[in-house]
Amino acid sequence: MSTVDTGSKHPEANRATKTASEPKGALVSKGRHAQGVTKERLSMSTVDTGSKHPEANRATKGKPPEANRATKGKPPEANRAQKKGAAMDVPALVEQAREGRPRAVARLISLVEGASPQLREVMAALAPLTGGAYVVGLTGAPGVGKSTSTSALVTAYRKAGRRVGVLAVDPSSPFSGGALLGDRVRMSEHASDPGVYIRSMATRGHLGGLAWAAPQAIRVLDAAGCEVILVETVGVGQSEVEIAAQADTCVVLLAPGMGDGIQAAKAGILEIGDVYVVNKADRDGADATARELNHMLGLGESRAPGDWRPPIVKTVAARGEGIDEVVEALDKHRAWTGEHGVLDARRRKRAAGEIENIALTALRQRIGDLHGDRRLDALSRRVAAGELDPYAAADELVAGLTEG
């Protein structure tokens, strides 16, 4: 049985079934979702159909949507039975997210993912609450075991008593726009753990290995009290390196049989790793892969004494072998970045990138509204007549946009 995002414009119309935008049983410790229902539903296939309204998942025919059914004797989750299209109470949602209530976290991420008109209000409320989480990015080619490794890391961090958030990004089809959000299936063992929140996201056409809303979703999980946030990218090729800009530590996973040393040298993602993991090390060729990787790293940029040299760790994530060594490497890198000021520098760079992307998006929207605008029409006539070159026309147009 598949759960489908139907693209409805009613964001609160979710049944009790866990959907692509709801937490997958994790952090659910109270109410009727706390028992076996969560594991059963987490194992279902979940489909994102490419809708711009991620919370708009099927209201069951003939029954009122979940958002409008307040449980008898208990206050409703984030907002009382509101009218269709009514704004959410963002301060209440943020407070509930801080308390670890998964539905509030899900709704905040959905406001972000759906580019809600309340997005700015959400970000303003979250800003003072962020900065405490350690963000680990996991990337690699399809089939190297990213989801299995992520699940194993969740287990290790939970044993250490840390609250963990997971963003698992899946690719959207360039034809249908849909996405099978199946990474959660490999993390089903954490379904009933109240200290874990797992969220699947679709790229929806965004390039670079992440979803467009990933930076803001990370802020939501940070503000919700997650001490470690694991961000799993889509299966990447040689140049999808956006995760390097979003993570405090970037883990690149490889597996035996993924290519020779020349192929390794060509792969751009191998230039962004802080920790390298050769997973499926019980297979033939694992030692050779580690040697080729070590040789490739030796050919890279020169490092001064005291600089970080990325370690290479061999694991069998399906059996949990080598995961403690990965956690140890991550802890060492976090300590090193803190001591050398690298962590603060990365976070400032990350913030600068977010500001730039938001500004560029706003400009693109304004430019997109120019079709049929008199200014654009007049400039195009002058360019077509040879009175003005296109670069000068573009400069004039941008000047008019920024002044307006």
How much is the CA Rg of the chain, to the nearest whole Å?
23
**DSSP alpha helix (H) spans, 127-213:** 146-159
Q: Please say whether the beta carbons of 310 and 244 come within 8 A.
A: no
Alpha-carbon distance of 79 to 90, in angstroms, equals 9
Q: What is the pLDDT of residue 189?
A: 83
6: helix, coil or strand?
coil
**The predicted structure's pLDDT at residue 173:** 59
Q: Partners of 254 in the beta sheet?
A: 278
**What is the DSSP code string of 201-252?**
EE-TT--SSS-TTHHHHHHHHHHTT-SEEEEEPPP--SS--THHHH-SEEEE
DSSP SS3 for 327: helix
Domain ranges of the chain: 2-339, 342-403
Give the pLDDT score at 69: 40
Distance CA(92)–CA(122), nearest Å, equals 11
User: Which phi and psi (to 5°) does residue 59 adopt?
Assistant: -80, 130
- Say which residue the tokens 């194993």 belong to: 152
Give the helix ranges, DSSP H, for 271-322.
Answer: 286-298
Residue 50's alpha-carbon distances to 11, 15, 147, 177, 205, in angstroms, are: 14, 19, 22, 5, 9
In order along its 404 residues, the chain shows pLDDT tens digits of 233 333 334 444 343 333 333 444 444 333 333 333 333 333 333 444 444 443 333 333 444 444 344 344 444 443 433 444 567 888 899 999 988 888 999 999 988 888 788 888 988 999 899 989 999 999 988 889 999 999 999 999 999 999 999 998 876 655 555 555 555 677 778 888 889 999 888 776 566 567 677 888 999 999 999 999 999 987 776 666 778 888 999 999 999 987 655 455 455 667 788 999 999 999 999 999 999 888 888 776 667 778 899 999 999 999 999 999 999 999 999 999 999 999 999 999 988 988 888 888 787 777 766 666 778 888 999 999 999 999 999 888 888 776 65
Tell whether pTM > 0.95.
no
Report d(CA 289, CA 271) in Å as an integer: 16
- CA neighbor of 103 nearest in space, from 21, 215, 180: 21
| Phi, psi torsion values for 193, nearest 5 degrees | -85, 115
CB contact at 8 A, 199 and 167: yes
Residues in contact with 48: Cβ distance below 8 Å, sequence separation at least 6, in sequence order? 5, 20, 54, 170, 172, 178, 179, 181, 200, 202, 204
2-339: CATH superfamily = P-loop containing nucleotide triphosphate hydrolases (3.40.50.300)
Q: Is 225 left (phi over 0), alpha (psi -120 to 50) or beta?
A: left
* One-letter identity of residue 299: L
- Classify 135 as helix, strand or coil: strand
What CA–CA distance (Å, rounded) separates 356 from 361? 8
Tokens of 152: 């194993």
- CA–CA distance from 7 to each of 52, 58, 217, 335 (Å)? 7, 9, 20, 44
Contact 363, 401 (CB under 8 A): yes
* Measured distance CA(170)–CA(112) in Å, rounded: 17
